[in-house]
Amino acid sequence: MVTTNFDHSASMAKSEGTIGLSHTASAYAVGAAVAVLFNTLLAWIKDSYDSLNTAMAHTLGHHWTTHGVAVVLVFLVVGFLLSRREGDRLTGNSAIYTLVISVVAGGLGLFGWFLVA
Protein backbone atom coordinates (compact mmCIF):
# COMPACT_ATOMS: atom_id res chain seq x y z
CA MET A 1 0.00 0.00 0.00
CA VAL A 2 1.33 3.41 -0.94
CA THR A 3 1.03 6.18 1.62
CA THR A 4 1.71 9.85 1.21
CA ASN A 5 3.60 12.03 3.65
CA PHE A 6 0.29 13.63 4.59
CA ASP A 7 -1.19 10.29 5.63
CA HIS A 8 1.95 9.36 7.54
CA SER A 9 2.12 12.67 9.45
CA ALA A 10 -1.57 12.44 10.36
CA SER A 11 -1.14 8.96 11.79
CA MET A 12 1.96 10.07 13.72
CA ALA A 13 0.08 12.98 15.27
CA LYS A 14 -2.65 10.62 16.44
CA SER A 15 -0.17 8.17 17.91
CA GLU A 16 1.87 10.81 19.73
CA GLY A 17 -1.15 12.16 21.59
CA THR A 18 -1.52 15.82 22.39
CA ILE A 19 0.70 18.46 20.85
CA GLY A 20 1.94 21.20 23.14
CA LEU A 21 1.88 24.88 22.28
CA SER A 22 4.80 27.21 22.77
CA HIS A 23 4.86 29.16 25.99
CA THR A 24 3.98 32.38 24.15
CA ALA A 25 1.08 30.81 22.24
CA SER A 26 -0.29 29.41 25.50
CA ALA A 27 -0.02 32.81 27.18
CA TYR A 28 -1.85 34.60 24.39
CA ALA A 29 -4.52 31.88 24.21
CA VAL A 30 -5.28 32.57 27.86
CA GLY A 31 -5.10 36.30 27.10
CA ALA A 32 -7.72 35.85 24.37
CA ALA A 33 -10.02 33.94 26.73
CA VAL A 34 -9.68 36.65 29.38
CA ALA A 35 -10.31 39.37 26.78
CA VAL A 36 -13.51 37.65 25.62
CA LEU A 37 -14.84 37.52 29.18
CA PHE A 38 -13.70 41.10 29.82
CA ASN A 39 -15.63 42.17 26.72
CA THR A 40 -18.83 40.75 28.17
CA LEU A 41 -18.21 42.29 31.59
CA LEU A 42 -17.43 45.70 30.11
CA ALA A 43 -20.60 45.61 27.99
CA TRP A 44 -22.67 44.89 31.11
CA ILE A 45 -21.00 47.64 33.14
CA LYS A 46 -21.06 50.39 30.52
CA ASP A 47 -24.71 49.70 29.70
CA SER A 48 -25.55 49.89 33.41
CA TYR A 49 -23.83 53.23 33.99
CA ASP A 50 -24.68 56.01 31.56
CA SER A 51 -21.82 58.14 32.88
CA LEU A 52 -19.28 55.47 31.94
CA ASN A 53 -20.87 55.01 28.51
CA THR A 54 -20.71 58.79 27.94
CA ALA A 55 -17.10 58.99 29.12
CA MET A 56 -16.14 56.14 26.80
CA ALA A 57 -17.92 57.89 23.91
CA HIS A 58 -15.96 61.09 24.53
CA THR A 59 -12.62 59.29 24.90
CA LEU A 60 -12.23 57.99 21.33
CA GLY A 61 -15.30 59.36 19.58
CA HIS A 62 -17.68 56.45 20.16
CA HIS A 63 -18.24 54.13 23.12
CA TRP A 64 -17.77 51.00 20.98
CA THR A 65 -14.40 52.26 19.71
CA THR A 66 -13.18 52.75 23.27
CA HIS A 67 -14.68 49.39 24.21
CA GLY A 68 -12.79 47.64 21.41
CA VAL A 69 -9.49 49.32 22.26
CA ALA A 70 -9.90 48.33 25.92
CA VAL A 71 -10.54 44.69 24.98
CA VAL A 72 -7.49 44.59 22.69
CA LEU A 73 -5.35 46.15 25.44
CA VAL A 74 -6.52 43.52 27.93
CA PHE A 75 -5.59 40.79 25.43
CA LEU A 76 -2.13 42.27 24.84
CA VAL A 77 -1.35 42.99 28.50
CA VAL A 78 -2.54 39.60 29.81
CA GLY A 79 -0.76 37.75 27.01
CA PHE A 80 2.45 39.73 27.55
CA LEU A 81 2.44 39.26 31.32
CA LEU A 82 1.75 35.53 31.08
CA SER A 83 4.41 35.09 28.41
CA ARG A 84 7.00 36.52 30.82
CA ARG A 85 6.13 34.05 33.58
CA GLU A 86 7.44 30.55 33.87
CA GLY A 87 4.77 27.92 33.72
CA ASP A 88 3.37 24.86 32.11
CA ARG A 89 2.40 24.91 28.49
CA LEU A 90 -1.13 24.26 27.38
CA THR A 91 -1.77 21.50 24.94
CA GLY A 92 -3.43 22.43 21.68
CA ASN A 93 -6.67 20.85 22.85
CA SER A 94 -6.79 22.61 26.21
CA ALA A 95 -6.18 25.98 24.51
CA ILE A 96 -9.05 25.27 22.14
CA TYR A 97 -11.34 24.20 24.99
CA THR A 98 -10.41 27.31 26.99
CA LEU A 99 -11.20 29.59 24.07
CA VAL A 100 -14.42 27.81 23.13
CA ILE A 101 -15.72 27.83 26.71
CA SER A 102 -14.91 31.53 27.15
CA VAL A 103 -16.57 32.46 23.83
CA VAL A 104 -19.70 30.42 24.64
CA ALA A 105 -19.89 31.89 28.16
CA GLY A 106 -19.34 35.41 26.87
CA GLY A 107 -21.85 34.96 24.06
CA LEU A 108 -24.49 33.58 26.40
CA GLY A 109 -23.79 36.39 28.83
CA LEU A 110 -24.30 39.03 26.14
CA PHE A 111 -27.35 37.24 24.76
CA GLY A 112 -28.92 37.13 28.21
CA TRP A 113 -28.01 40.73 28.96
CA PHE A 114 -29.50 42.15 25.77
CA LEU A 115 -32.50 39.85 26.01
CA VAL A 116 -33.36 41.30 29.42
CA ALA A 117 -32.32 44.91 28.71
What pLDDT is stored for residue 11 in this prediction?
45
Distance CA(19)–CA(78), nearest Å, equals 23
Domains of the chain: which residue ranges?
A: 30-116
* 72-96 pLDDT, tens digit each: 999 999 999 999 988 766 777 888 9
* 10-20 pLDDT, tens digit each: 444 444 555 67
pTM of the model: 0.79
SS (H, E, C) 41-62: HHHHHHHHCHHHHHHHHHHHCC
